[in-house]
Amino acid sequence: MLTSLLESLDVEELLTATYETFYMTIIALIGTFVFGTLLGLLLYLTDKGGIWQNKVINLIVASFVNVFRAIPFIILILLLFPFTDFLMGTIRGPNGALPALIIGAAPFYGRLVEIALKEVDKGVVEAAQSMGAKTRTIIFRVLLPESMPALMSGLTVTAIALIGYTAMAGAIGAGGLGSYAYYSGFQRRDFELVFICSVVIVIIVFLFQFLGDYISSKLDKR
Amino acid sequence: MISIQALKKVFTSSDNTITAVDDLTLDINDGEIFGVIGYSGAGKSTFVRLLNRLEEPSSGRIIIDDEDITGLNTQQLRMARQEIGMIFQHFNLLWSRTVKENIAFPLEIAGISKAKREERVQELIDLVGLSGRENAYPSQLSGGQKQRVGIARALANNPKVLLCDEATSALDPETTNSILDLLVDINKKLGLTIILITHEMHVIRKICNRVAVMENGKIVEQGDVLEVFLRPKQSVTKKFVEQVMGTDEEDEGVSYLVSTYEKGKIVRLHFVGETTNQALISQLAKQFSIELNILQGKITQTQRGPYGTLFVQIDGEKKEMEKAIDYITNETSVEVEVVRNAD
């Protein structure tokens, strides 16, 4: 069985697919981190009792987050085709998947950021205020550093969800392991290739999980 | 000087309103340690948070060194807050920063250069006695050490005032004492005004010059700590005094003493905090040919000297005993009351 597995395997194609999956996951993760943190901060700061308490903005941001979390990812990609075309100049390949990946994952991560920020001791924020700290200082020197382990483990969860999303995007032409498994494996009845792709994806997931856990525990000085 | 005028804070929720601080007027002198005591819910914590506007006052004014804190805009308030240090019951340190970095935080906020920050941090670490723990994280420190970091952090920008919100309530008695000693030390060294909120009378007794007793958002009694100890007027104050002095079981105690010690006079000596009379008993024994027997009593130390009561049996020639009592009455500030005369 192993020989037949290796016979049918084009290593170069597998490597390209793996690279594309990594590429999409990492770029989308960076985008998700930036936008998700922004959304999470907005949710936290405009919430009742927050520094920028504002019902209207909170409602708008919360609605945006809820709407984009509600749309199934496969439909979100289709829905975003015109936007993607306008932004990236293409709807195909790894780059064509990025807008949908980020817009799909950022609201999810935003909620995780909000939860992480809520865990920060109110007393510490108050202490910073009593020292005369600006809101900017409170955000960048208190809220974000103090919630960093939770932000990291949230990012790990999000990264793994993103790997799943890239596979889905692959099925409609984004490239990567999902694409490879679907077009070269499933459609050609080569289930061994589907299996190999699955194994590689599982390894990637484990890698992200291990790395995320490690960074998170290194950051945690509690 | 800190002047608080008709300060009021009303919390409103959908179904009721609570007046946490009610029309409070108070003057606090420069360089004194001023205590505010009350049970939980008395409004003392809200009061101290109003002073640096962590809570916005509903009405009234707060003036610190001729600066109207209540009239400042956001930017001015930030600058003013840098001159008002604050320490907290639960320390509120940043766990993600080391001791050094925690103390440096207010200096970063004030925009002090890195070199100067490090110099100042080292000074502060020495001041609060944390040398050797500079690079520890808060989770590696004991409660007392955490509060020392809190104090160093609060002092970093050379504030004029230090606000202490139940600063020792989460600490064990021994650690509480060492933190209180540190506060007195800082008060003397730096001439810093300290406003201290607590529900523990022994904290007031140990370090405060003046005290205000709060109940239901109002100050029901205030004055010199010794005066309040000596002549508590309100029942809540009496209860607080009992925390330190024990409950008043004197009647029973006295009749027991009178029936047990049959010879001579029994007198009650009331020490009211003048340090000059500390050797009273030995003076009496030297100057008069009388026998002195201490029967019962409790003396406690305040910032202004000892305070408390002693029951003493005096025996000897009648004339000598009278002379001794006259001496106490006329030459010292100790109040004397003859509980039983010699037969």
The bridge status of strand B59-64 relative to strand B335-340 is unpaired
Say whether B96 and A123 touch across the interface (CB within 8 A). no
Looking at the structure, tell me whether residues B198 and B327 fall in a common domain.
Answer: no
Looking at the structure, tell me whether residues B143 and B255 fall in a common domain.
Answer: no
Tokens of B216: 């239901």
Chain A nearest CA to B78, separation (Å):
4
Find chain A residues with C-beta within 8 A of B138's C-beta. 221
Distance CA B194, CA A66 (A): 49
Residue B186 has a pLDDT of 94
What whole-number percentage of chain A has pLDDT above 90? Answer: 72
Residue B271 has a pLDDT of 81
Residue B275's pLDDT band (cuts 50, 70, 90):
low
Supply the DSSP string of B79-122, one letter for each residue: HHHTTEEEEETT----TTS-HHHHHHHHHHHTT--HHHHHHHHH
Looking at the structure, tell me whether residues B169 and B95 fall in a common domain.
Answer: yes
Supply the DSSP string of A87-99, one letter for each residue: HHS-SSHHHHHHH
User: What amino acid occupies position A143?
Assistant: L
Q: Is the ipTM of this complex over 0.95?
A: no
Distance CA A78, CA A81 (A): 5
pLDDT tens for A67-106 read: 999 999 989 999 998 998 898 888 888 888 999 999 999 9
Residue A184 has a pLDDT of 87
Average pLDDT over residues A99-122: 96
Q: Is the model's pLDDT at B320 over the cut of 90?
A: no
Say whether B81 and A131 touch across the interface (CB within 8 A). yes
Say whether A124 and B93 touch across the interface (CB within 8 A). yes
Partners of B67 in the β-ladder = B64
Order across the sheet with B193-198: list the strands: B84-88, B161-165, B193-198, B33-37, B210-215, B218-224
Looking at the structure, tell me whether residues B159 and B222 fall in a common domain.
Answer: yes
CATH class held by domain A2-219: mainly alpha
Residue B33 has a pLDDT of 95
Partners of B58 in the β-ladder = none
Say whether A131 and B90 touch across the interface (CB within 8 A). no
The shortest CB-CB distance from B96 to any of A129, A134, A145 is to A145
Tokens of A25: 């996951």
Looking at the structure, tell me whether residues B167 and B77 fall in a common domain.
Answer: yes
Looking at the structure, tell me whether residues B128 and B232 fall in a common domain.
Answer: yes
Helices (H), chain A: 2-8, 11-45, 55-70, 73-79, 81-88, 93-118, 122-130, 135-137, 144-146, 148-169, 176-179, 191-219
φ/ψ of B328, rounded to 5, equals -60, -45
pLDDT tens for B148-181 read: 999 999 999 999 999 999 999 999 999 999 999 9
Tell me if chain B has a CB within 8 Å of the CB of A219.
yes
Spans of all domains in chain A? 2-219
The bridge status of strand B33-37 relative to strand B193-198 is parallel
Tokens of B281: 């008993």
Average pLDDT over residues B88-105: 96
Chain A nearest CA to B32, separation (Å):
21
Looking at the structure, tell me whether residues B235 and B256 fall in a common domain.
Answer: no
Distance CA B255, CA B177 (A): 36
Interface A-B: count of C-beta contacts within 8 A: 66
Note down the domain range covering B268.
Answer: 248-340
Say whether B92 and A124 touch across the interface (CB within 8 A). yes
Say whether B139 and A145 touch across the interface (CB within 8 A). no
The enclosing domain of B95 has a CATH number of: 3.40.50.300
Find chain B residues with C-beta within 8 A of A141's C-beta. 105, 108
Residue A4 has a pLDDT of 60
Say whether A121 and B52 touch across the interface (CB within 8 A). no
pLDDT tens for B69-89 read: 999 999 999 999 999 999 999
